[in-house]
Structure 1
Amino acid sequence: MGEAAYNPDPQAHPGLHLIAVFEGAKGLLALATAAGLALLGPQPLRRWVEDLITRLHLDPQNGVLPRLLNAINPEAVHWAVIIALVYALMRLVEAWGLWRTRVWASWLGCIGSAAYLPLDLYALYHHHGWHTWTLLFVNLLVVAVLWRDIVKRRSN
């Protein structure tokens, strides 16, 4: 009484499983984030931002962190939990589809990863570190692998 036999698409790119694991890990991390936010609420976040302002000797009235501190409230945390859950669901569905070599998952992953490219380029323009180059390279590689998978399977 097992599940139907798993027959991967022989035309699928061999890198799909690696990308599936990566996307699944992102989905699980988003689930953990949503659970943490839902269980802890806004107070630990507020304390963390207050500590950061104090440690960095920042003006507690002006700047990005004080504005963030003012924005952290129960309603904002509820919205953050919902957004994290939706993101997690998308990543986990994509991971499942990529693992099962579904072409729709390659489309979903390609579009999702390509959407980050303008942000990667913006970050690269403002922050010239190795980490920024690495993120851009990984994102480009994921888009290329998924696009190649789509094109290869459409041509057959």
Structure 2
Amino acid sequence: MTQPHHYNPDPHAHPGLHIIALVEAVKGALALLAASGLELLGPAPLQRWIHELIARFQLDPNHGAIAWLVGAINPGGVHLAALVAALYGAMHLLEGWGLWRAKAWASWLGCITVALYLPFDVYALAKHPGWLSLVVVAINLLVLWVLARDLVIRRR
């Protein structure tokens, strides 16, 4: 006769949560690093880089996404991008900390964010089928399963 499975609040009992926590912390740290870089560098190097891309690939700087990007790279746009990157980074660091500590709210946050990404991942897989798109969908489904399983076990 098997014993009923009881939730153990010890975060060390959940290696899947620790792996996801580490990935989230790395994503958060990289986003904060990117935000800092944007603030430190400002728009000038980005504008030079975009103009090099336009020249190298003979892109039309007056139409499409490139025209929008050229117009968006200004001090205000760079500050906004840095703010968004910093908020994204802080959220992922907080989620990583919460998952490491096996907090239910962190599993909920992870489930919600992965569920928001999945339609875009599936769309990318449909538009550009290949092993990389398939791996991204598979990893996100695995993460969703681990986090949802954690929440289901907590309810029991």
Q: How high is the TM-score relative to the length of structure 1?
A: 0.89
| 5+ long unaligned stretches in structure 1 | 1-6
Tell me if structure 1 keeps the 8 A contact 2:60–2:66: no
Q: Which residue of 1 aligns with 2:67?
A: 66
**TM-fit CA distance, 1:58:** 1.5
Deviation at 1:12, TM superposition (A): 5.7
Aligned-residue offset at 1:61: 2.0
Matching of residues 93-132 of structure 1 within 5 Å: 93-132=94-133
| Code of the aligned partner of 1:94 | E
Deviations 1:51-110 (A, max 9, x none): 111111112222321221111111111111111111111101110111111111111111
> Distance between the aligned counterparts of 1:52 and 1:37, measured in 2?
19
Q: Any conservation in 2 of the 1:12–1:149 contact (CA below 8 Å)?
A: no
Indicate the percent of aligned positions where both proteins have the same amino acid: 56
Separation (CA, whole Å) in 2 of partners of 1:135 and 1:44: 31
1:26 paired residue number: 27
Give SS of 2:89's match.
helix
Q: RMSD across aligned C-alpha pairs, in angstroms?
A: 1.7
The residue type equivalent to 1:32 in the other structure is L
Shift of 1:118: 0.8
Give the secondary-structure state (helix, strand or coil) at the position aligned to 2:15.
coil
- Where does residue 15 of structure 1 map in the other structure? 16
Q: Distance in 2 between matches of 1:132 and 1:113?
A: 15
Q: Distance in 1 between matches of 2:132 and 2:13?
A: 30
In 2, distance between residues paired with 1:100 and 1:136? 26
Q: Give the secondary structure class of the aligned counterpart of 1:60.
A: coil
Please name the residue that 2:144 is paired with.
143
Whole-angstrom CA distance in 2 between matches of 1:10 and 1:37: 35
The alpha-carbon deviation at position 9 of structure 1 amounts to 2.9
How far apart, CA to CA, are the structure 2 residues paired with 1:122 and 1:93? 28
| Aligned positions of 1:37-48 closer than 5 A | 37-48=38-49
Deviation at 1:129, TM superposition (A): 2.4
Q: Name structure 2 gaps, 5 residues minimum.
A: 1-7
Task: Give the Å deviation of 1:14.
Answer: 2.6
Determine the C-alpha separation between the residues in 1 that align with 2:119 and 2:25. 23
TM-score (norm 2): 0.89
